Chains A and B, each alone.
Chain A
Amino acid sequence: MEATLLPAPTDFTLLPAAPAPLTQLRRSLAADTLKLKRTAALRLTLLSGAFPVLITFLIFFFKGDIIMKTGGSPWPRFISTSWQTAGTLLLPLFVVLLTSLVVHIETKATAWKHLYAQPVGRGAVFVSKLLLILALNAVALLLFAALVLGAGLLLSVLRPKLGFVLATIPFETVVWMLLRTYVATLGLLAVQYVVSLFWRSFVVPVGVGMGAVVATIALLSWEHADKIPYAAPLGTAMAMKMEKATLTVAHELAKHEWYSLGWFAGVLVLGYVLLLRRNVS
């Protein structure tokens, strides 16, 4: 056969270079951020902090004179009441809802099959959504803290007699509480994330999460309660102490927060291994 009659050599067999892992992650994050637009997950993040602050604000607005009968700065009382209201039930439930809602964006659109057919590895998809949830969780906590301080300052205008003065805000305690509370939510966040990815439904992770939160409350007096990731935010909220009329908290992670970090790392590794080679139907 004459060489000139052969079809032009096709170059389609040249293997294109796969995008670098960090490029894949950056692209996934860019897409995931766009998908957050107009979602319940985003609204929940922006509004969740308001509820516990509003309750505490109303208590102090109407009954502040009774609470502050003994005098002193109202900030420690105000901050610890807000934080405990949030930490007991609301914060774990927020994390449960947030993770479920973010993962549900893909499930609702039947987009897992589409997502995994794109030139990004499963690792990038897994890490991208995790980073997004971690960021939203951080935003919600920061908003909560800002609302607590803002509500106190508003009370200083509306109820000047209560003594909310800017100078007496225990900033250092607030910053440490933010950091420690964030760490305390990580364990249950990882569990909920993997559960959401594994079952790919909204009902299952929310059901598991609510069940776990309720069961945790029943188990609080158990000697191993500090090992339950769903109990950690409450443990941290209870770690604040009144010392010499100011609010203090240890500048280090407590045992239950280390357990939370352990759950976070362990569950994520396990979840990633489980999900990496899974069939997508």
Chain B
Amino acid sequence: MKSTTPLLLETRSLHFRFGQRPILHDVHLQVEPGSLYGFLGPNGAGKSTTMRLLLGLLRPASGSVHLFGHDLARHRVALLDRVGALIENPSLYDHLSGRENVEATRRLRGVAAGRTAEVLELVGLTDNAHRPAKEYSLGMRQRLGLAIALLSDPDLLLLDEPTNGLDPNGIIEMRELLQHLCRQHGKTIVVSSHLISEIEKMATHVGVIQEGRLVFQGSLPDLRRLQTGRSRLVVETQDAESCRNLLPRLLAGATVAAPGTLWLPWLSQEHTAALAAELVAANQPLYGLRLEQPTLEDTFLHLTESRTAAV
């Protein structure tokens, strides 16, 4: 089924260089229609550069960007008519009011006049629309930027770190709004972030970029599986060394992290249960037995070390 669904956004072997410095290597993004695609990577990995390439702001050294099945380089203006974007900090004119800021882009896109009030309402800025944008807080600016991106009711939304500067409440609101747009209105959304915690709460698909290479791309469950495969079981006991000698089979892959702590790769629930039972049977005190998920940093490090794209 997957192969028959045409991709809404696709990059084919995208390369980008800044002067002589290579920034992106062979990036193959594949975004299916109706998905909420989380584009993850540490700062400086090439997220913003990729986003700019997707909008035709930068010209690729080689490769191509396809939106709605068409080459961006050939039909840029026509394709951008169906794209809303928020790149890094929102571009706001401080001398204009919030409403006038929306109005400027509305005129530029030739969108119906009534949309200005609608999008301001949608992001909850109606009451502050008359105030100059320079008085807006970081969170309000971000919301105004989102309102501007939503003006043309675009089929594709490209949002670069949209939760930057938002407080916890604002982050939740933004997340709910994006999920609503995706599920109820069938919008396709690409959201970049450096926080996996943020992405895993809303994304349906995830791409991970590191040092300009796409090191993982797939659905969120795919990423979860990859993470669980790398989970670690931590055993806390009296004497780690003697435990390992007592149970050589069950503790074959274990390392002694501290005199009373053992680390071993998580294998299965059965294995964990058996280990607990055997330790108790061998008269060893079991102070703690827990599963540790690798952190975002661990996952990234692992993904970059292996340099394999699990597409």
- Listed in ascending order, the chain A residues whose CB lies under 8 Å from chain B are 6-7, 10, 12-19, 23-24, 27-28, 30-31, 34-35, 37-39, 105, 108-121, 277, 279-281
Contacts and interface: CB of A to CB of B under 8 A. Distances in A.
B107 A27 contact: yes
A35 B85 contact: no
Nearest to B158: A117
A14 B58 CA distance: 25
Interface of B: 4-6, 8, 33, 52, 55-59, 68-70, 75-83, 85, 87-96, 100, 103-105, 107-110, 148, 155
Contact of A34 (B68, B94, B107, B110): B107
Nearest to A108: B94
29 contacts: A12-B8, A12-B155, A13-B6, A14-B68, A15-B70, A15-B75, A23-B110, A24-B77, A27-B108, A27-B110, A34-B96, A34-B100, A34-B104, A35-B93, A108-B93, A109-B93, A111-B93, A113-B87, A113-B88, A114-B85, A114-B105, A115-B91, A118-B105, A119-B77, A119-B81, A279-B59, A280-B57, A280-B58, A281-B52
A108 B95 CA distance: 10
Q: Which among A27, A112, A121 has the highest number of chain B CB atoms within 10 Å?
A: A27
A53 B104 CA distance: 36
A179 to B, nearest CB: 32
Contacts of A30: 107-108
A34 B103 CA distance: 8
B283 to A, nearest CB: 60
A137 to B, nearest CB: 21
A224 to B, nearest CB: 37
Given A10-B33, A16-B81, A39-B95, A117 B87 contact: yes
Contacts of A7: 5
Contacts of B104: 31, 34-35
Contacts of A110: 88-89, 91
Given A113-B57, A117-B85, A280 B100 contact: no
Contacts of A27: 107-110
A117 B67 CA distance: 14
A173 to B, nearest CB: 39
Contacts of A39: 95
Contacts of A111: 91-93
A37 B96 contact: yes
In order of increasing CB-CB distance, the 3 nearest A-B pairs are A114-B91, A111-B91, A18-B78
Given A28-B108, A34-B103, A105 B93 contact: yes
Nearest to A34: B104
